[in-house]
Amino acid sequence: MGRYLSIDYGRKRCGIAVTDTARIIASGLTTVQSCTLEKFLTDYMSKESVDRIIVGLPTTMRGEPSESMKYITPAVNRLKKLFPDTPIEFFDERFTSVLAHRAMIDSGMKKSDRRDKAVVDEISATIILNDYLQSTQNSN
């Protein structure tokens, strides 16, 4: 059984999280520059089995796709061509940045460390993946 991988896609950088091979626990993996995402995933997936990619879907408070979808959609389309045998799906990412900041505060992280946007992106990807895992367990 392969891992699930999630991406919190941003214009500058992407937070990435993965599950364990049993797909029980999601953990932050890294943050990469958006322009290097395809190379990073190609390298990672050549070493690790990934059965599904989950991409955070940014939506407005009304549930409509946000403005940032204009740069996320082309990136996801490129990933679908690059990895045609790996399902790629969107999953609601509303409030993940807020939850990431809360998790950082609750864990006792220093204020100076909480300013590191790369850490926020990685934690956000982890939250997206955890929420996805919970939603699939609840639907079974």
Q: Tell me the whole-structure pTM to 2 decimals.
A: 0.85
Mean pLDDT of the chain: 86
95-104 CB contacts, 8 Å cutoff, 24+ apart: 96/8, 96/56, 96/124, 96/127, 96/128, 96/131, 97/124, 99/124, 99/127, 100/124, 100/127, 103/127
Q: What is the pLDDT of residue 104?
A: 55
Tell me what pLDDT residue 85 has: 97
Residues 52-96 have pLDDT tens digits of 999 998 877 777 878 888 999 999 999 999 999 999 999 987 656
Question: Considering the chain, what percentage of its residues have pLDDT values greater than 90?
Answer: 58
Query: What superfamily would CATH give domain 3-139?
Result: YqgF/RNase H-like domain (3.30.420.140)
